[in-house]
Structure 1
Amino acid sequence: MTDLLNAVFHAVVYALVSGVILIAAYYVLDLVTPGHLGSHLHGTDESGKASVHLQSRSAGLVASSWMVSNALVLFTAIWTNGATDLGWPLAWTVSFAVLGVALNAAMLFAIDAVTPGNLRQIVTEPGPVRPLAWLAAASALSVAAIVCASIA
């Protein structure tokens, strides 16, 4: 029974820490994209009026891939380190998660620098998914794969 309670406690701690990191990851993406990311996703204008025509499907694609990317890093870190105890395994998980968020932001800036136009502006424009948004989404998932491989 003690093992079960200990495992449940670890699951709760890892879930709470992961939730905080994923929220922080969202805010980092919000900081590196122009405007308010939530407004681009929801489709609201400056006055707060919502319209489906103001929604950015590109921002939705990039934000969702960003979240999946960071969740994959968290999953891998927990899967490989979290079976023993909290302490160092939790510190490793947080360290790799922060690294994943930072590398995703750096990659977004790097792709923005080598592609024509302003990638961060383009992916927040209302309307259908733009090709550069697919590139930004793929880069986030690529960063996750690289960080996950370095953990395992």
Structure 2
Amino acid sequence: MNEILFNSLAALAYAGVGVVILAVGYLLIDLLTPGKLHKLIWEERNPNAVILVSANTLGAAVVVTTAILSSDSEIGLGAGLLSTAVYGLIGLGVMALSFLLIDLIIPAKIAHMISNPEPHPATWVSASAHLAIAAVVAAALT
């Protein structure tokens, strides 16, 4: 019975770390793009913002999931939670960096394209970069 209780609490703790990482990822994208994401997505139904936030959320989830699966049960719950948080933040940081780098090398500013209500193919480039970088970070964890 103690093992079930411990594992249940551990699952809640890991879920808590995951939710925090996903929320930080959302806030990061909100900082990198003009306008407020909640308004762009839920009020204006902007497809560019939806694509980017969805890719960022999926990418962060891939990194957090892999970090959880890679955490060694022998190091203890606290260390596992800490490593999951650290790797999740690293994934978010690298995804944000890719957003900024893509913005530097393309002829127009992707940050402004994201806030434009007209669908733009560059959004898919940035979204794909988020997922690709998340996969790379996840692979580095295994």
Normalised-by-shorter TM-score class = over 0.9
| Number of equivalences | 141
- For residues 46-86 of structure 1, the C-alpha deviation after alignment (integer angstroms, 9 at most, x for no partner) is xxxxxxxx431011001000000001100000011164431
Q: Which runs of 5+ in 1 are unaligned?
A: 44-53
Higher helix proportion: 2
Q: CA deviation at 1:90?
A: 1.3
Tell me the TM-score normalized by structure 1. Answer: 0.88
Superposed CA RMSD = 1.2
Matches within 5 A, 1:1-152: 1-43=1-43, 54-81=44-71, 83-84=73-74, 85-128=76-119, 130-152=120-142
When residues 73 and 67 of structure 1 are mapped into structure 2, their CA distance, relative to the original with a 3 A threshold, is same
Distance in 2, matches of 1:96 and 1:105, equals 14
Moved over 2 A (4+): 82-85
Counterpart secondary structure, 1:126: coil
Q: CA deviation at 1:40?
A: 0.9
Between the aligned residues of both structures, percent identity stands at 30
